[in-house]
């Protein structure tokens, strides 16, 4: 059934405990993340694009990303934070984005300081940044456009992705806070957590910090908390697990000629019915 009540993302962050977030691209993935105990769901632009077999390169429209995030939020009792790339264009696009995401019940968005159209951070190619001044304008536009105090804007700096220094990342992060950002996402594609740890050790705690430990997965949540992180996003592990599981399942059926070998390891149809809340729906037709 449609969920109508859930905490805002801001309320989770303000509790002062580590907010653990799982990436998803549809309501089913979001519900499974909630059942696993995650505090929120990241509507991942990589996952939403990949679900269409399209690159994460600003190919899909804002409306297509919004539909994915809204469909997740409808099914969840935890908040969705939407990965909104660069805000889908200039300041006017950012204002429109905030209006539409707020109307859809999304309480948090994240925008990044790369040029539009942008390319996924882990892909080879141009990762040129927007100027600090221009991105501050986007943040200010987003905050001015929101209609409730609860709406939460995360400013993501790709300085480290672009090969710039931690000094540059810090300088940008402080400017983004001055422009009104509610939190800073510091992103890195390094194989270790070192540069993110350095950023955290030099950050003054003016705003919460969000990390996405895709390339440094060994960082345990207890140590992440000690380092001063407020939000950790496991942005694409669910998608990658799905690819592996489906590939193996389909290979097994094709190779064996039947699905017998899988039946003990895959979900029963009744579990799918439970995820669909089928019994609740059936009572409406009793």
Active site residues: 56
SS3 15: coil
How far apart are alpha carbons 176 and 50 in whole angstroms?
A: 30
CA distance 166 to 160: 7
Which residues touch 46 (CB under 8 Å, ≥6 apart)? 23, 56, 83, 120, 235, 236, 239
- What is the C-alpha to C-alpha distance for residues 215 and 234, in angstroms, rounded to an integer? 11
CA-based diameter of the chain, in Å?
Answer: 64
Instruction: Name the token pair of 215.
Output: 């390339």
* 155/83 Cα distance (integer angstroms): 11
Q: How many CB atoms lie within 10 A of CB 148?
A: 9
Question: In the block, which residue shows the tokens 């990241």?
Answer: 42
- CA–CA separation, 234 vs 19, rounded Å? 11
Range 6-10, long-range pairs (CB < 8 A, 24+ positions): 6/73, 6/76, 6/77, 6/78, 6/79, 7/78, 7/79, 8/79, 8/107, 8/108, 8/150, 8/152, 9/40, 9/79, 9/81, 9/107, 9/108, 9/152, 10/107, 10/108, 10/150, 10/151, 10/152, 10/182
Residue whose tokens read 């539409």 = 100
């Amino acid at each position: 059934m449609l969920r109508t009540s859930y905490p805002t993302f801001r309320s989770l962050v303000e509790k002062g405990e580590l907010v653990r977030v799982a990436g998803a691209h549809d309501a089913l993935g979001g519900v499974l993340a909630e059942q696993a105990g995650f505090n929120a769901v990241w509507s991942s632009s990589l996952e939403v694009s990949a679900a269409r077999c399209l690159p994460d390169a600003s190919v899909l429209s804002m409306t297509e990303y919004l539909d994915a995030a809204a469909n997740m939020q409808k099914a969840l009792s935890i908040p969705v934070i939407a990965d909104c790339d660069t805000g889908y264009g200039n300041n006017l696009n950012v204002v429109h984005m905030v209006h539409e995401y707020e109307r859809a019940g999304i309480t948090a968005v994240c925008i990044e300081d790369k040029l539009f159209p942008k390319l996924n951070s882990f892909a080879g190619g141009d990762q040129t940044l927007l100027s600090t001044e221009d991105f501050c304008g986007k943040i200010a536009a987003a905050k001015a456009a929101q209609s409730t105090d609860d709406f939460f804007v995360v400013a993501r700096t790709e300085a480290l992705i672009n090969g710039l220094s931690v000094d540059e990342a810090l300088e940008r992060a402080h400017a983004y806070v001055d422009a009104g950002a509610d939190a800073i996402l510091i992103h890195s594609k390094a194989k270790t957590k070192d540069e993110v740890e350095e950023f955290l050790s030099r950050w003054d705690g003016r705003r919460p910090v969000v990390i996405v430990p895709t390339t440094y997965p060994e960082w345990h949540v207890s140590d992440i908390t000690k380092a001063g992180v407020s939000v950790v996003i496991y942005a694409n592990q669910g998608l990658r697990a799905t690819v592996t599981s489906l590939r193996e399942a389909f290979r097994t059926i094709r190779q064996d000629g039947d699905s017998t070998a899988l039946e003990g390891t895959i979900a029963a149809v009744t579990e799918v019915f439970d995820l669909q809340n089928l019994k609740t729906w059936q009572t409406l037709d009793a």
